[in-house]
Amino acid sequence: MSKPDLSIDFCGVTFKNPFCLSSSPVSNSAEMVAQAFEMGWGGVAFKTLNSDRIPIIHPSPRMNPYHYNDKKLVGLQNVEQISDRPLKDNLLDMLYLKKHYPDHVIIASIMGFSVEEWEFLAKAAEYNGADMLELNFSCPHMTVEGSGHKVGQAFHLLEQFTEVVKKVVQIPVIAKMTPNITDMTEPAIFAKKGGADAISAVNTFRAISEIGHDDFVPKPNIFGIGARSGYSGPACKPIAMRFIADMAKCDDLGIPLSAMGGIETWIDALDYLLVGASNLQVTTGIIHYGYRIVEDMIEGLSDFMEGKGIGKVSDLVGKALDNIQETDHFDLDRQGVAEYDLDKCIGCGQCYIICRDAGGQALEWNAEERRPELIEDKCLSCMCCQFICPVDGLIRYKEKPKGWNRRETAVMNPGLEKELKYKPFKANV
């Protein structure tokens, strides 16, 4: 089989691969982006342009890492603003990149504070080499109404600004969504009504990642003050994936999706493709490991596709969507239990403790042998024992034959039944 084709069409623009730098410090200048392109990235969403109307000053320090035990940078909180560089410098950088890397895609991220500013920035970006625009309706640090995530939460405004931009440019327009809402399909449909060609998501989640225990100031601590501000990285991925899947499954939307939120490896990239994204963007993964992670993404995804006999990356897009349903679709007649390969057991007893304290009390502990003994029909198949078992492959899920039932929950004090004040509620369905 010839090498899998990683190129992808996104709104009529060809990306040599779906991997892009997202708008942030990793896409701040031509020098940086050129280096990233050399390493293999297919495109860039340039750091959000500012129109020089007001000087941008970033708070200092501007980020706080969220480490969880030994795992570094599970999340990242930042209070960074849009670009603090003069517009002219950013535009010259885009022109440089377009000239020297014509087969790479330049997406200009813009954010206006008025109709005129949206128009101005859109035209300036298109005129100076941008292949696409990304409208930043999602910066979580904007406090002024009608800007950043405040637009992303005011759907008619979002539609209006998209429409304003679409009227003045020819290039495709992507609307970048805030995750600081419940249902992303709603604003996405407003963006589509305004003419958006695609949706990108997610920007950062408003969060508080850590509080100083000496001074009680949330971090990053900007001289005694913290803020609810943007949180990104692997900890956000499951929630961001759900937003992408929601939009991909929404029949009324039906426009291409660019996904981001916690992508670090080819596996993360694959996951987002499977739930319907055809373009992928990264920031925190690069802040953690550098631009070189794209090498793993290209190689890993190519190997995976080769192994599965998949020739084109576009064939992976949305492949998991039919398997994502509401919980009332489950076949409850099919049940299973945990199964133990005790030859592998090291006798640590963690399964016993977890089953006793959080599961079905389905394990007895044979203290002499230092081995768990499973009472199968008490097993809830919660599989918590498997999550915490330090030995891979020792505990597995096993389906039971149809019609098999778990043991009824034991009532500890049957004598108390008469004293029950609240009888079990029977729903009338």
Ligand X SMILES: Cc1cc2nc3c(=O)[nH]c(=O)nc-3n(C[C@H](O)[C@H](O)[C@H](O)COP(=O)(O)O)c2cc1C
Per the CB < 8 A criterion, the answer to whether 377 and 383 are in contact is no
- % helix / strand / coil in the chain, to the nearest 5? 35, 20, 45
- The nearer residue to ligand X, 176 or 371, going by C-beta atoms, is 176
Residues near ligand X (CB under 6 A), total? 29
Question: In whole angstroms, how close is the CB of 174 to ligand X at the nearest point?
Answer: 10
- Distances 95 to 6, 21, 125, 184 between C-alpha atoms, Å: 26, 17, 9, 34
**Dihedral (CA of 80, 86, 88, 93) sign:** negative
Rounded Cα gap, residues 238 and 152, in angstroms? 21
Does the protein bind ligand X through residue 162 (CB under 6 A)? no
Does the protein bind ligand X through residue 136 (CB under 6 A)? yes
Q: Which of 17, 147, 185, 203 binds ligand X (CB under 6 A)?
A: 203
Per the CB < 8 A criterion, the answer to whether 129 and 95 are in contact is yes
- The nearer residue to ligand X, 76 or 188, going by C-beta atoms, is 76
Question: In whole angstroms, how close is the CB of 1 to ligand X at the nearest point?
Answer: 31
- The nearer residue to ligand X, 77 or 386, going by C-beta atoms, is 77
Rounded Cα gap, residues 242 and 245, in angstroms? 5
- The nearer residue to ligand X, 162 or 232, going by C-beta atoms, is 232
Phi, psi for residue 161 in degrees, rounded to 5 = -65, -35
Q: Which stretch binds ligand X (CB under 6 A): 20-28, 29-37, 160-168, 190-198?
A: 20-28
Site for ligand X in 257-296 (CB under 6 A): 260-263, 282-285
Does the protein bind ligand X through residue 51 (CB under 6 A)? no
Question: In whole angstroms, how close is the CB of 284 to ligand X at the nearest point?
Answer: 3
Rounded Cα gap, residues 323 and 326, in angstroms? 10
Bridge partner list, 229: 207
Does the protein bind ligand X through residue 78 (CB under 6 A)? yes
Phi, psi for residue 54 in degrees, rounded to 5 = -130, 140
Q: Which of 48, 50, 147, 278 binds ligand X (CB under 6 A)?
A: 48
- The nearer residue to ligand X, 226 or 230, going by C-beta atoms, is 230
Does the protein bind ligand X through residue 176 (CB under 6 A)? yes
Q: Which of 28, 232, 258, 386 binds ligand X (CB under 6 A)?
A: 232
Per the CB < 8 A criterion, the answer to whether 216 and 223 are in contact is no
Rounded Cα gap, residues 394 and 377, in angstroms? 19
Does the protein bind ligand X through residue 180 (CB under 6 A)? no
Q: Has 139 been annotated as catalytic?
A: yes
Question: In whole angstroms, how close is the CB of 97 to ligand X at the nearest point?
Answer: 17
Task: Choose the catalytic residue: 11, 139, 345, 379.
Answer: 139
Per the CB < 8 A criterion, the answer to whether 274 and 316 are in contact is yes
Which residues fall within 8 angstroms of residue 55, CB to CB, at 6 or more apart? Answer: 84
Does the protein bind ligand X through residue 318 (CB under 6 A)? no
Two structure tokens written together for 166? 């679409």
Question: In whole angstroms, how close is the CB of 141 to ligand X at the nearest point?
Answer: 9
Rounded Cα gap, residues 299 and 267, in angstroms? 11
Does the protein bind ligand X through residue 22 (CB under 6 A)? yes
Per the CB < 8 A criterion, the answer to whether 80 and 58 are in contact is yes
Phi, psi for residue 369 in degrees, rounded to 5 = -85, -15
Site for ligand X in 320-349 (CB under 6 A): none
Pick from 265, 23, 122: which is nearest to 33 by CA?
A: 23
Per the CB < 8 A criterion, the answer to whether 37 and 96 are in contact is no
- The nearer residue to ligand X, 58 or 406, going by C-beta atoms, is 58
Does the protein bind ligand X through residue 76 (CB under 6 A)? yes
Phi, psi for residue 231 in degrees, rounded to 5 = -120, 130
Phi, psi for residue 66 in degrees, rounded to 5 = -105, 105
Does the protein bind ligand X through residue 209 (CB under 6 A)? no
Question: In whole angstroms, how close is the CB of 150 to ligand X at the nearest point?
Answer: 14
- The nearer residue to ligand X, 72 or 344, going by C-beta atoms, is 72
Does the protein bind ligand X through residue 386 (CB under 6 A)? no
- The nearer residue to ligand X, 73 or 354, going by C-beta atoms, is 73
Q: Which of 64, 204, 229, 386 binds ligand X (CB under 6 A)?
A: 204
What mask, x for binding ligand X by CB under 6 A, covers residues 97 to 116?
------------x-------
**Which residues here bind ligand X, judged by CB under 6 A?**
22-25, 47-48, 63, 76, 78, 80, 82, 109, 136, 139, 176, 203-204, 230, 232-233, 236, 260-263, 282-285
Q: Which residues participate in catalysis according to the annotation?
A: 139
